[in-house]
Chain A
Amino acid sequence: MVNTENISPRLTREIHLESPQLDQLLFAWLSELIYLKDAEILLFREFYPTIEKGWRLSARVIGEEINGKRHDLRTDVKAVTYHLFQLTETKEGWTARFVLDI
């Protein structure tokens, strides 16, 4: 959507989400960022999520309001889809695959 290096750390948002399944929590997290882009005209450069089993996500995200002059705006992301959606635990950690509607 944008070169995140051009986004300044002007404001912070706290995000709290819950879901019975971890993959649904990932879906909700990505959807939340898309929602904030459109509803509050915001883009973010830094993301600090923590996840608790059961499943709960709390995150601090830092960014600013979209500015067409300063931000090199590219493709708009409109939604997360469940197409080829996969979340797998590996020896190194976790791997996720998801397709975004653009």
Chain B
Amino acid sequence: MKIDRLGENLWEVPPSEKEGMLVPSRIYATEKILREMDQGVFEQITNVACLPGIQQYALCMPDGHWGYGFPIGGVAAFSIEEGVISPGGIGFDINCGMRLIRTDLTLREVQPKIEHLMDELFRNIPAGVGARGFVRLSRQEFEEVMTRGVDWCIEKGYGWPQDRERIEEFGHLPGADPSTVSERATSRGINQLGTLGSGNHYLEVQVARSDSIFDKKSAGVFGIHGNDQILIMIHCGSRGFGHQIGTDYLQVFDHAMKRYGIVVKDRQLACAPFRSPEGQDYYKAMLCAANMAFANRQIITHQVRQTFSRAFGESPERLGLDIVYDVAHNIAKVERYESGGQERDLLVHRKGSTRCFGPGRPEIPEIYRQVGQPVIVGGSMETGSYLLAGTDKAMKETFGSTMHGSGRTMSRAAAKRAVKGRELKEQMARKGITIRAVSLSGLAEEAGVAYKDISEVVQSLDSIGISRKIVELKPIGNIKG
């Protein structure tokens, strides 16, 4: 496949390279990252470029690797009138995302209690197969969670009023309609509020050292001052609820595509016109799952606050346990961009990609508006994570999007062959990282060796101004399902 270099860390596959491509496919990566990318990425991102109504280009971020239909790290924007909506472009785990919580605690205060703290967090935040949340909801209440997201949580005492503005979309997307959600999905999700999940989902206690801050002023605006400050990062999504909605509508679209005369190059790219009844139903169901995921991360935040409060003998308010921000990295949203010479609403799919809005945007809370939107990007449990800020350049070039994490380089099976869970846990303890895992084989699958180098991936977009590095965060404790 011919790949042209368009500029620094930007590559393009022209439409001539595959029959049916309506637009080019663009990949953001250094030459090294591009060379190491699996072939599935190129196959999949050029398939995405064939979807009806796609605008300008199909994009893949440097953390890209093959996925189901769309690659992970994929971004694609579609015309509202003529374009499609595709579950493969969002991911089964709708609104899988990241939340970062700051504290006023330092490493010196937390390190002596880290074993006890991790035990308590592990006890209070259910994870793994068959995990049930402590929040008991009626069907009606769960439907309120679907339509109101974090607002429902705050009303019930699982959050603070100021939490809302520190979450993408203020923690609730309007337009969700529970009548588009199957009984199956509701049954799968109703007991899972406040649970972490499994696989690559985690809760991590992290430290921000002063020498890991790249922009002191912006970090200060985000509530981070360094000096070995402790933070907590949460990575999870809509659990079985989102997965079932994805499964339900994949089957609906698989049946319905013929009626709309849509042919896709990969069955996992099954889609329907956004304006069709099926397309609109999936969109409204997806919004239900997105709101449930925001609520899920909110309930977990409540549990984190309670746990820290008991461990350190102070109220969560006195400990400064404020949310820094919460971002979705598996979602589709209607956003306004210039396309074809005019400003238009487009349906932007982000799958393993994060919104990255620049300074001055009204969608960003006022407290952060001068800096740009905070973007939380998770690395492997061995290497750490980053807090970034959005830029104007992202608005112009990537439909306001950036990467989401480091991206896998190795299958789970290969990781388990390379690394044993028990040894890995001991190795990490020697490096000063305390692990609590439901499954040791699941832990091995998440070894650092299975992921790209997060710093390299972050730098590839920082150096061309798509997203800006603000702070690097290092793990000291991690919970895995």
Contact = CB atoms under 8 A, between A and B. Distances in A.
Interface string B423-440: 000000000000000110
Interface string B220-249: 000000000000000000011001101100
B251 A83 contact: no
Contacts, number: 95
Contacts of A101: 68, 92, 243
Nearest to B128: A73
A22 to B, nearest CB: 14
A68 B243 CA distance: 22
B270 interface: yes
B188 A83 contact: no
Contact of A83 (B93, B129, B268): B268
Nearest to B44: A83
A59 interface: no
Contacts of B188: 35, 38-39
Nearest to A102: B199
A87 interface: no
A27 B442 CA distance: 25
A41 B132 CA distance: 9
B240 A81 contact: no
Given A35-B184, A101-B68, A75 B445 contact: yes
Given A41-B130, A66-B130, A76 B254 contact: no
B129 A78 contact: no
Contacts of A37: 129-130
Contacts of B344: none
Given A2-B129, A24-B251, A39-B188, A78 B93 contact: yes
B247 A76 contact: no
A34 to B, nearest CB: 8
A82 B68 contact: yes
Contacts of B246: 79
A53 interface: no
A85 interface: yes
Contacts of B420: none
A78 B243 contact: yes
A31 interface: yes
A78 B250 contact: no
Given A66-B130, A82-B270, A73 B68 contact: no
Contacts of B191: 41
For the complex of A and B, the 4 pairs showing the least CB-CB separation, nearest first, are A66-B130, A38-B240, A39-B187, A82-B267
Interface string B9-51: 0000000000000000000000000000000000000000000
A87 to B, nearest CB: 12
Contacts of B401: none
B361 interface: no
A39 B183 CA distance: 10
Contacts of A35: 184, 187-188, 240, 244
A74 interface: yes
B439 A28 contact: no
Contacts of A39: 184, 187-188, 240
Interface of B: 68-69, 92-93, 128-130, 132, 184, 187-188, 191-192, 197-199, 239-240, 243-244, 246-247, 250-251, 254-255, 266-268, 270, 412, 438-439, 441-442, 445, 481
Interface residues of A, number: 31
A66 B412 CA distance: 23
Interface in A54-88: 66, 68, 73-76, 78-83, 85
Interface string A83-102: 10100000000000001011
A102 B73 CA distance: 18
A20 to B, nearest CB: 8
A24 B254 contact: yes
A35 B240 CA distance: 8
A56 B37 CA distance: 42
Nearest to B198: A76
A15 interface: no
B408 to A, nearest CB: 12
A11 interface: no
Nearest to A99: B68
Contacts of A24: 251, 254-255
A40 B132 CA distance: 11
A99 B247 CA distance: 13
A51 interface: no
A78 B254 CA distance: 19
17 contacts: A34-B247, A35-B188, A38-B188, A38-B239, A39-B240, A41-B132, A66-B129, A68-B128, A73-B439, A74-B439, A75-B199, A75-B442, A78-B92, A78-B240, A81-B68, A101-B92, A102-B412
A70 B409 CA distance: 34
A83 B68 contact: yes
A82 B266 CA distance: 8
A43 B130 CA distance: 9
B442 to A, nearest CB: 6
A70 to B, nearest CB: 12
